[in-house]
Amino acid sequence: MKKTILTGLRPTGNLHLGHLFGACQNYLKLQDDYDFYLEIADVQALTDNFDQPKKVRINVNEITMDLLAVGLDPKKVNFFIQSQIKEIAELTVFYSNLVTIARLERNPTVKAEIAQKKDLFGHNGESITYGFLGYPVSQAADITTFDGELIPVGEDQLPLIEQCREIVRKFNSIYGDTLKEPQPILSETTRIKGLDGNEKMGKSLGNAIFLIDDEETVQKKIMGAVTDPHKIRKDDPANPDICMVYYYHKLVNSKENIQKVCTECKSGTRGCVGCKRELIEKMNEFLAPIKERRKYYEEHPKEVEEILKNGTKKAQEKATEQMEKIKKAMMIDY
Ligand code: TRP
């Protein structure tokens, strides 16, 4: 029996290099050997986008096409839409008794998000909604509805997995041994820096290269990337370790070329403009096959719809089975 992998993504925008290196490459490695459920977490996306249903709806398709473009194989990965599996919502209600409000308020991921979203939740989080504060409970339901054992995630998600593990332990101790405690699997690269040198590449930070960016956009973005500020003239020696252009060369260029970029940069025989041009070329070469696959799906929307439909159907079968077990344990199996 293959072990079950479950992970989720909020459909709030297109995927960028941060997602690709931080998450998707991990999925690609795992897709062959596991029973893989990939949740398009539209209900979770609504917790902080409840006033933007159109944005969420559009991005369910966008993110699915991005994931397919990256090379995830719908024969191996069950893509499903969270809102279509009612058991997740049902289980969220059951779990809400097993977690205190104080514990949710202490969750580091939730805390960081509240601090980031001052316009939505107020300066001191005074306008935080019940739904947003509770999304870790719903995420625990996402995972356990499918008996998820291994959860490939970025570092920022670890507190949410821990919260799920606590809920599972509490459930099992009260209602009897029913649920599996999930384990996170971290990617080798957990975080990709932004074009501006920020530790994190993010859509809202405006420092990302998206997988769908066209060649001109890539060019413009890389031309504006942060380099060693001490390098003024073309032949000044510089420090590649504080240069974002070198950082991205390391992601998309060949070993040999990376070495060359590094040595020439340090010795002052490489100008930044030329170095950026080389990166633009390599980045566009790197993104080309992804965009080509994406184009296929853009031209075959029915196929995308079918992939989501089939994946959701398979997810539903598993959810029904699991819910029976859970209701029995909770003595609500009428
Ligand atoms: N919280 C995750 C994110 O923001 C998305 C997510 C939803 C998820 N459900 C999940 C991740 C279940 C792992 C497991 O990216």
238-280 per-position pLDDT tens digit: 999 999 999 999 999 999 999 999 999 999 999 999 999 999 9
Over residues 123-134, the mean pLDDT reads: 94
Summarize the confidence of residues 88-110 as an average pLDDT: 97
Residues with a CB atom less than 6 Å from ligand 1: 6-10, 39, 41, 44, 139, 142-143, 151, 153, 157
Cα–Cα dist 152/59, whole Å: 21
**In this predicted structure, what is the pLDDT of residue 113?**
93
- Ligand 1: residue whose CA is nearest its atom 3: 9
CA–CA gap between residue 296 and residue 81 (Å, rounded): 22
CB 303 within 8 A of CB 309: no
Which residue CA neighbors atom 9 of ligand 1 most closely? 8
Q: Which residue has the least CA distance to atom 13 on ligand 1?
A: 7
User: Among residues of the chain, what percentage have pLDDT more than 90?
Assistant: 94
**C-alpha of residue 267 to centroid of ligand 1, in Å:** 45
Model confidence at 108: pLDDT above 90 = yes
| DSSP 8-state assignment for residue 23 | I
> What pLDDT was estimated at residue 254?
96
Confidence check: pLDDT of 155 > 90: no
Whole-number percent of the chain with pLDDT over 70: 100
- Average pLDDT value for residue range 178-195: 91
Give residue 154's pLDDT: 86
Region 177-188: what's the mean pLDDT?
94
Q: Where are the alpha helices (DSSP H) in 71-134?
A: 86-95, 101-106, 108-116, 118-121, 130-133
Task: Give me ligand 1 centre to Cα 9, in Å.
Answer: 5
Q: What's the confidence (pLDDT) of residue 1? A: 84
Atom 6 in ligand 1: which residue has the minimum CA distance?
A: 8
Closest protein CA for atom 10 of ligand 1: 8
- Cα(41) to ligand 1 centroid in Å equals 7
pLDDT at 188 over 80: no
- Domains within the chain, CATH numbers bracketed: 4-193+301-330 (3.40.50.620), 213-294 (1.10.240.10)
CA of 136 to the centre of ligand 1 (A): 9
- For the record, the structure tokens of 8 come out as 């989720």
Supply the pLDDT for residue 34: 96
| pLDDT tier at 130, thresholds 50, 70, 90 | very high
Report the C-alpha gap between 29 and 245 in whole angstroms. 27
Could you give the CA distance from residue 151 to residue 172 in angstroms, rounded to a whole number?
A: 20
The residue contributing the CA closest to ligand 1 atom 15 is: 9
**What is the Cα–Cα distance from 138 to 132, expressed in whole angstroms?**
10
Atom of ligand 1 nearest to the CA of 9: 5
Per-residue model confidence as pLDDT tens digits over 32-77? 999 999 999 999 999 999 999 999 999 999 999 999 999 999 999 9
Instruction: Kindly state the tokens that stand for 122.
Output: 């107020």
From the CA of 227, how far away is ligand 1's center (Å)?
A: 33
Q: Which residues contact 73 (CB under 8 A, 6 or more apart)?
A: 31
Say whether 265 sits in a helix, a strand or coil. Answer: helix
Q: Which of 242, 142, 281, 198 is nearest to 18 (CA)?
A: 198
Determine the pLDDT at residue 11.
98
Give the predicted TM-score (pTM) of the model: 0.95
Task: Look at 54-58, 157-161, 199-203 and tell me which has the smallest mean pLDDT.
Answer: 199-203
Q: Which residue in this structure is represented by tokens 């191996």? A: 76
Q: Candidates 77, 132, 142: which one to mutate for ligand 1, based on the most atoms within 8 Å of Cβ?
A: 142
Average pLDDT over residues 213-230: 96
Separation of CA 263 and ligand 1 centre (Å): 41
Between strands 150-153 and 183-186, the pairing is parallel
Strands of the sheet with 4-9, listed across from one edge: 77-81, 35-40, 4-9, 150-153, 183-186
